[in-house]
Amino acid sequence: MEAYIELKKVLFIVSVIILNCKPNYCENNILNKNAKIIIIGSGPSGIAAASKLFENEFHNVMILEAEDRIGGRVYTTKFGNYSIDLGGQWVHGTKGNIVFELANPYGLVDVSDKEDSGLDIVGLDSSGNHIDPELANKLTDFYYEYVDSLDSRKDPASESIGQRAEKVYDEFFKNDSSALNQKRKFLDHLELSRNQEDSAFSWCDVSVPGLREYTNLEGDQWVNWKERGFSTILDILMKRYPNREKEHPIFNNTLLNVEVLSIDYLQDVKGPSVLITTTKGQLYKADHVIVTVSLGVLKEKYMSLFIPPLPVYKVNTIKASGFGAIAKIYFMYDEPFWTLKNNTRILHFSFLWNDAERKQIEADPEKEWLLGMATVLTVEKKPNLLSLWVSGKYVKQMEELPEEKVFNHSVENIQRFLGKKYNVTKPIAMLRSRWYNNPHFRGTYSYRSVEAHRQKVFPEMLERPLNEQTLKVLFAGEATSSHRYGTVDGAIRSGWKAADRLIDHYKKLSRTSAPVA
């Protein structure tokens, strides 16, 4: 009898709660799980945002992807029997790097504890001669010393890396006549190396104060994915690895080959209030949209992509922020013509042009792009491959050329620089990136520009949602990261941040509509 009375009490309390439940509270509990969220772009930030939302039981999440694959600028593809990366390739730093922290427990990455990360750097000029090792070491010291000294110097906001290098070169090498006589040769090479790091077309566009904002994480800067590729991190985020039984339903909720034409966030209707129109005329409605397209795409399409137009601060940020491109050309050989020393992970060839050969190449518009090939690397765990890196303004020139000419020119250049010291053989296959020419990217990654610092516009302004009350349109991607821009880990954290904004948004809605006891 007592048990029966207790049961009736419980049922009475439950009925009171149900009767007193405010309609909005009940609706918000439903909306929390059924709010329609569309993510534009399936790169690391988009995948990270979707994963976080699914983990928090948001079930109505869709990704629209313009390419025929997921991954964005993380692009692992097959080249012969190897998995190679046309986009992001290394994990830069281990301490505090979320990519490393997610991958390392599974033994997926190769880490060096050496100070030089296992790099063997060999400098050669365009006559095929080795650069004097002592002079090469001084050049390396200069490269890092003038960068490291940025923290201790007071610089005008408008000073660029290029201006700084020109300014301090003579002072650094004042007692070295050989270096002074080869100033142009060395600075041209340093600019290409710098552009390769920053994804800039010119180091005169890269801000000195901006470089201070980037956080260098401790540990190996050349962490590789062994026989795998960087897209492994996407499988980890989506729970496809290590156990597919726990996989988030991201693949089934991603539409490929869908290019967005416009995002109308002024819809004043009941229900989903953002209208997305695709280039094929398809219409999609959402409560919230997370835009993860590259800064390159935003620069090209910000005027037509958003209805109404973006606010002035957002437009200024997009226009002033730095975004460029680098390119990779992979060569495959029957057998490597090079050898690695013991404990060497990467053989790093640095190419420096002599004046005579430079002038000769400059006179040939079709081959001028070869001046941008400053670095050739062996590829870890893929012993028959070389990767040829092109940077600066020359990236655009290379991408415009047909495959056959890029192949022939590159073979010629390898022979020019390495032919004297190595028995160079002809590659059997080539694969190259074309990020700048691809309208879905228009480049590789962002950097802090002189113009952005001049105008005082920064990544956090790009990341800011258009309406912080309704969160109709949010932004994510590496270019929205204040201190890890240009990195995959920065992109992932930005995707999580956008998802967390929505999660917190619905928690607040639930609290403000809570029932009265």
Contact 199, 445 (CB under 8 A): yes
What is the maximum span of the chain, computed from C-alpha positions, in angstroms?
104
Distance CA 38, CA 287 (A): 8
Q: What percent of the chain lies above the pLDDT cut of 90?
A: 78
The amino acid at residue 157 is A
Indicate the class that CATH gives domain 2-72+252-322+444-512: alpha beta
Cα–Cα distance between 137 and 142 in angstroms, integer? 9
Predicted pLDDT at 141: 85
| The domains spanning 2-72+252-322+444-512 and 118-219+327-432 adopt the same CATH topology | no
**Helix extents (H) in 120-230:** 133-148, 161-172, 177-181, 183-198, 208-213
Alpha-carbon distance of 61 to 249, in angstroms, equals 9
E strands, 209-345, where? 254-255, 260-264, 274-278, 283-286, 288-291, 306-307, 322-323, 327-332
Assigned token pair, 253: 């909720």
Arithmetic mean of pLDDT over the chain: 91
State yes or no: pLDDT of 7 exceeds 50.
no
For residue 164, is pLDDT > 80?
yes
Instruction: Judge contact between 458 and 90, C-beta under 8 A.
Output: no
Buried b (16+ CB within 10 A) or exposed e, 142-160: bbeebbeebeeeebeeebb
Q: Per-domain residue ranges for the chain?
A: 2-72+252-322+444-512, 118-219+327-432
Q: Which amino acid is at 189?
A: H
Nearest-5° angle of CA 194, CA 123, CA 344? Answer: 95
Query: What single-letter amino acid sits at 250?
Result: I
Which regions of 308-417 does DSSP assign to beta strands (E)? 322-323, 327-332, 346-352, 373-378, 385-390
pLDDT higher than 50, residue 338: yes
On the CB side of 369, how many CA atoms lie within 13 Å of its CA? 25
Task: For residue range 13-23, list pLDDT tens digits in order.
Answer: 444 334 444 44
The predicted structure's pLDDT at residue 200 = 98
pLDDT of 514 over the 90 cut: no
Report pLDDT for 168: 87
Least confident range of 11-25, 189-203, 331-345: 11-25
CATH number corresponding to 118-219+327-432 = 3.90.660.10
If pLDDT is split at 50, 70 and 90, which confidence band does 25 have? very low
Q: Which of 480, 511, 501 is nearest to 35 (CA)?
A: 501
Asked if residue 335 has pLDDT above 50, the reply is yes
Residue 152: band (very low, low, confident or very high) from pLDDT cuts 50, 70, 90: very low
pLDDT at 489 exceeding the cut of 60? yes
pLDDT at 286 over 90: yes
Whether 125 has a pLDDT exceeding 70, the answer reads: yes
Between 151 and 173, name the one with better pLDDT.
173
Is the pLDDT score of 254 beyond 70? Answer: yes
Residue 206 CB neighbours (<10 A)? 27
